[in-house]
């Protein structure tokens, strides 16, 4: 790596942490190997090949905690050019990775061979059927796609919190979903047809009447293999039941095996496997979505409950009364947004088990909104909350609530101690097991040494950013330890004005 591109991490890292080594390998200094650059320039033209060291460093990082340097970055303009890259890579035995906005959190848009930028030349939308369908190219940012649909009163179903940057191709390939989409409005359910290019060069548009035949003829082994897997699953009742259960809740781990139960033909299965395939099966060149109504009349509330159980118990009644979102934030989440715009200062003093729910109703008309308001109020009346709350129709206040909720990930990322990484995983539970699941998860954190501090320095907003140390402990004789019911760090006093730097630990012994 040239000195010019080597940041001096010593100067930007807080003194108490060792800087993370950020140096790129020496052999990257001259950029892409010349033979590879020249071959690709011949295939794609100079403009579409990005071979300088700065290009490789730039594309080595995405929103995940990992870093992998590609050998070269290419920006193909057509399906034909992508096909040529696939053929060339197979000849040279190089890996190909497709990357769009790079907002994935698990490193799936990084590669160490040829990196295809599927965003630059792949933007565009066409509203069809008065907004009921959207034809969209994969590099289109989700927010832009929704902007095209906005005048028609529709939107796309998938709603990841990253919709301001994530592209439709990335959303399909990750089966990304968000706070209202669930397993009903995701790409798996709402993608009507898809055009894709296989590594072999076969290009299929599933909307074509001849598509099934074309697929079977061009890819007989693939088609036969898919049907063999389907037959195996169909024969095995226990496996089929397990798959059904797995996909009844959000599950984006691995390929969407539910496709083998939901579809009966090779192309039908493959089309559904593409959703969530993370760029491993084919290049997606276009999608046509069935859109969902973008109901404008909304009621939103941010409810703070005394504990996880009471918050989770409220989810089912709200959903049963038509709420489209019931987003849970535990005490750790609320702590991560302390001090952010719109976050009340009093939340610093919430008890250790406080849990919040962001609940929203979306309705197509004022009449329906009135009905929803009555239903929401009936649920609200039966709740025991730490703060008085009401449903608002004020879009600014609602936007503020959503900003708090959507900003959780960046806030948590920003609050982590320097030199550590943020790893994010979705963990799904059936609704009736939510409270137990969430509480069990919370128990795992201290067991593995995460974030249970009793001392925070007065400097550099250490408390707000939760940069602390676990100094205080209770030591119990074994016979007393057996009677220990609960052990909890009470952060409340540390959040008060002019606090001590330590905070108490409270234990309950029977």
Q: Which residues bind ligand FAD (CB under 6 A)?
A: 62-63, 97-105, 108-109, 118, 138, 160-162, 166-167, 169-171, 173-174, 176-178, 278-279, 283-284, 409-410
At its nearest, how many Å lie between ligand FAD and the CB of residue 281?
A: 8
Nearest-angstrom CA–CA distance, 38 and 117: 18
Closer by beta carbon to ligand FAD, 167 or else 310: 167
Closer by beta carbon to ligand FAD, 414 or else 431: 414
Closer by beta carbon to ligand FAD, 180 or else 375: 180
Are the CB atoms for 247 and 183 separated by under 8 Å? yes
At its nearest, how many Å lie between ligand FAD and the CB of residue 279?
A: 2
Contacts 24+ apart (CB under 8 A), 370-376: 372/299, 372/321, 372/322, 373/299, 375/321, 375/322, 376/299, 376/301, 376/318, 376/321, 376/323
At its nearest, how many Å lie between ligand FAD and the CB of residue 283?
A: 5
Give the DSSP H/E element, type plus range, for residue 84: helix 79-92
At its nearest, how many Å lie between ligand FAD and the CB of residue 176?
A: 3
At its nearest, how many Å lie between ligand FAD and the CB of residue 168?
A: 8
At its nearest, how many Å lie between ligand FAD and the CB of residue 427?
A: 13
Nearest-angstrom CA–CA distance, 290 and 267: 19
Closer by beta carbon to ligand FAD, 250 or else 321: 250
Tokens of 356: 């919040």
Residue with tokens 């008309």: 365
Closer by beta carbon to ligand FAD, 104 or else 503: 104
Q: At what angle do helices 220-235 and 237-246 cross, to 10 degrees?
A: 100
The separation between CA 340 and the C-alpha centre of its own chain, rounded to angstroms, equals 22
136-151 burial code (b ≥16 CB/10 A, e <16): bbbbbbbebbbebbee
Are the CB atoms for 110 and 95 separated by under 8 Å? no
- Measured from the Cβ of residue 481, the count of other Cβ atoms closer than 10 Å reads 12
Closer by beta carbon to ligand FAD, 32 or else 252: 252
Nearest-angstrom CA–CA distance, 146 and 292: 11
Closer by beta carbon to ligand FAD, 117 or else 363: 117
At its nearest, how many Å lie between ligand FAD and the CB of residue 275?
A: 10
Closer by beta carbon to ligand FAD, 155 or else 230: 155
At its nearest, how many Å lie between ligand FAD and the CB of residue 363?
A: 23
Tokens of 14: 């807080």
Closer by beta carbon to ligand FAD, 167 or else 300: 167
Q: At what angle do helices 266-274 and 211-218 cross, to 10 degrees?
A: 90
Are the CB atoms for 261 and 229 separated by under 8 Å? no
At its nearest, how many Å lie between ligand FAD and the CB of residue 108?
A: 3
At its nearest, how many Å lie between ligand FAD and the CB of residue 103?
A: 3
Three-state SS for 435-449 is HHHHHHHHHHHHHCC
Closer by beta carbon to ligand FAD, 63 or else 379: 63
Are the CB atoms for 354 and 346 separated by under 8 Å? no
User: Which residues, in sequence order, are bridge partners of residue 359?
Assistant: 301, 326
Closer by beta carbon to ligand FAD, 101 or else 376: 101
Give the DSSP H/E element, type plus range, for residue 225: helix 220-235
Strands 114-117 and 96-99: parallel
At its nearest, how many Å lie between ligand FAD and the CB of residue 27?
A: 25
∠ at Cα 143 (97, 184), nearest 5°?
Answer: 80
């Amino acid at each position: 790596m040239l000195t010019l591109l080597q940041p001096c991490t010593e100067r930007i890292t807080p003194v108490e942490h060792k800087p993370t080594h950020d140096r790129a390998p020496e052999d990257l200094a001259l950029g892409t190997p010349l033979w590879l650059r020249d071959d690709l320039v011949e295939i794609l033209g100079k403009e579409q090949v990005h071979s300088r060291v700065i290009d490789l460093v730039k594309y080595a990082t995405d929103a995940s905690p990992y870093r992998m340097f590609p050998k070269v970055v290419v920006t193909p303009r057509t399906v034909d050019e992508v096909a040529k890259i696939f053929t060339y890579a197979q000849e040279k035995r190089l890996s190909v990775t497709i990357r769009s906005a790079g907002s994935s959190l698990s490193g799936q848009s990084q590669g160490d061979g040829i990196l295809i930028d599927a965003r630059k030349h792949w933007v565009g939308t066409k509203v069809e059927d008065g907004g009921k369908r959207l034809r969209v190219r994969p590099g289109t940012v989700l927010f832009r796609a929704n902007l095209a649909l906005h005048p028609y009163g529709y939107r796309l179903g998938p709603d990841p919190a990253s919709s301001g940057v994530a592209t439709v191709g990335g959303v399909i390939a990750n089966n990304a979903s968000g706070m209202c989409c669930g397993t009903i409005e995701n790409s798996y359910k709402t993608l009507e047809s898809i055009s894709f290019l296989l590594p072999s060069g076969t290009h299929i548009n599933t909307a074509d009447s001849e598509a099934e035949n074309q697929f079977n003829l061009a890819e007989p082994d693939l088609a036969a293999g898919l049907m063999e897997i389907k037959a195996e699953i169909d024969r095995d009742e226990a496996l089929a039941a397990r798959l059904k259960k797995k996909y009844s809740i959000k599950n984006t781990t691995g390929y969407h095996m539910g496709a083998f139960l939901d579809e009966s033909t090779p192309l039908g299965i493959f089309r559904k496997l593409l959703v969530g395939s993370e760029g491993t099966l084919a290049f997606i060149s276009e999608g046509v979505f069935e859109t969902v109504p973008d109901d404008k009349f909304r009621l939103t509330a941010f409810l703070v409950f005394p504990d996880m159980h009471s918050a989770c118990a409220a989810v089912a009644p709200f959903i049963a009364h038509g709420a489209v979102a019931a987003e849970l934030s535990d005490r750790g989440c609320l702590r991560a947004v302390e001090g952010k715009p719109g976050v009340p200062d009093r939340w610093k003093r919430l008890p250790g088990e406080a849990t919040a729910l962001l609940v929203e109703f979306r309705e197509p008309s004022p009449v329906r909104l009135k009905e929803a308001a009555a239903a929401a109020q009936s649920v609200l009346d039966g709740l025991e909350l730490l703060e008085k709350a009401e449903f608002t129709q004020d879009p600014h206040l609602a936007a503020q609530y959503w900003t708090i909720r959507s900003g959780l990930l960046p806030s948590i990322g920003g609050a982590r101690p320097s030199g550590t990484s943020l790893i994010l995983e979705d963990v799904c539970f059936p609704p009736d097991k939510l409270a137990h699941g969430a509480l069990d998860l919370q128990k795992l954190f201290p067991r593995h040494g995460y974030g249970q501090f009793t001392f925070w320095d007065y400097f550099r907003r250490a408390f707000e950013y939760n940069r602390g140390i676990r100094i205080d402990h209770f030591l119990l004789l074994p016979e007393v330890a057996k009677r220990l019911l609960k052990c909890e760090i009470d952060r409340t006093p540390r959040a008060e004005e002019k606090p001590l730097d330590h905070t108490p630990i409270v234990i309950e012994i029977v």
